[in-house]
Amino acid sequence: DGGITQSPKYLFRKEGQNVTLSCEQNLNHDAMYWYRQDPGQGLRLIYYSQIVNDFQKGDIAEGYSVSREKKESFPLTVTSAQKNPTAFYLCASSPGQGRPYEQYFGPGTRLTVT
Amino acid sequence: RKEVEQDPGPFNVPEGATVAFNCTYSNSASQSFFWYRQDCRKEPKLLMSVYSSGNEDGRFTAQLNRASQYISLLIRDSKLSDSATYLCVVNAGGTSYGKLTFGQGTILTVHP
């Protein structure tokens, strides 16, 4: 089955530690995205990547880093510089050509930092 | 002004009711519009794209008014399973390829 996987589903970390969230897709989609969702709020874009080895900052990139070494993978690192890292993190991908704006989401990772 | 604004909700309706959600967007260069559905503690799922001429998918009808920068979603004959948060989503337009802006969402609860 084609889809987007994120792991782990729940993640707990101590303040001051960096943590990397995994996102993998086997849909052969060109573009991938990371969002953050806080309770009662809409999704906010952290980073996005249109092609391999290229990515752009979204609206709230500070304290986060990404890489796109393979088309299938777009890991997100939440660094200790991120002031409020506890949130629901969602990865998405889109076909790119033809339907560049339709995005499909993975199941998300709930990160709790104490 | 927020880039995408939705009805604050929540909406509580009985089964079988018709309910409408409204959304306005501020970027006149936006070209693509969507409604997503998000169940509690789950990921958003694409419900339908919104086309200029309006479009229908079963009990769901989406309308777009570019002049007023307004999008709507109508749900007819509501089912219990329609209970969810509905997100209005707009692309950023211009050179921001693929960048979407999400509204805060409107919560719908359908009760027996």
Q: Higher pLDDT residue, A99 or B19?
A: B19
Q: What would the 3-class secondary structure string for A67-88 be?
A: CCCECCECCEEECCCCCCCCEE
Instruction: Give the rounded percent of residues in chain A with a pLDDT score beyond 70.
Output: 95
Give tens-digit pLDDT for A3-28. 999 999 999 999 999 999 999 999 99
Cβ neighbours of residue A43 closer than 8 Å, sequence gap 6 or more: A35, A36, A37, A90, B44, B87, B102
Q: What does DSSP assign to residue B80? A: G
- B82 phi/psi in degrees, rounded to 5: -80, -10
> Closest residue of B to A106, CA-based?
B43
Mutation site, A6, A101, A104, A111, interface B, largest B CB count within 10 A = A101
Name the token pair of B37: 């559905």
Question: CA B15, CA B37: separation in Å to the nearest integer?
Answer: 18
Do the beta carbons of residue A73 and residue A7 sit within 8 Å? no
pLDDT reported for residue A56:
92
Nearest to A57 by CA among A38, A65, B29: A65
Q: If 0-12 CB within 10 Å is exposed, 13-18 middle and 19+ buried, where does residue A101 land?
A: buried
Q: Do B98 and A101 touch (CB under 8 A)?
A: yes
Provide the 3-class DSSP secondary structure of residue B82: helix
Range with the lowest mean pLDDT among B14-23, B77-86, B92-101? B92-101
Predicted confidence band of residue B96 (pLDDT cuts 50, 70, 90): low
Q: Measuring CA to CA, how many Å separate A57 from each of A85, A91, B44?
A: 17, 14, 22
8 Å CB contact of B49 and A31: no
User: How far apart, in whole angstroms, are the C-alpha atoms of residue B70 and residue A8?
Assistant: 38
| Beta pairing class for B84-91 and B100-102 | antiparallel
Kindly list the residues from chain A whose CB atom is less than 8 angstroms away from the CB atom of residue B87: 42-43
Are B98 and A50 in contact (CB < 8 Å)? yes
Whether pLDDT at B63 is above 60: yes
Return the beta strands (E) in A1-114 as ranges.
Answer: 4-7, 10-13, 19-25, 31-37, 43-49, 56-57, 64-66, 76-78, 87-94, 104-105, 109-113
Q: Is the pLDDT of residue A100 over 80?
A: no
CB contact at 8 A, B27 and B93 = yes
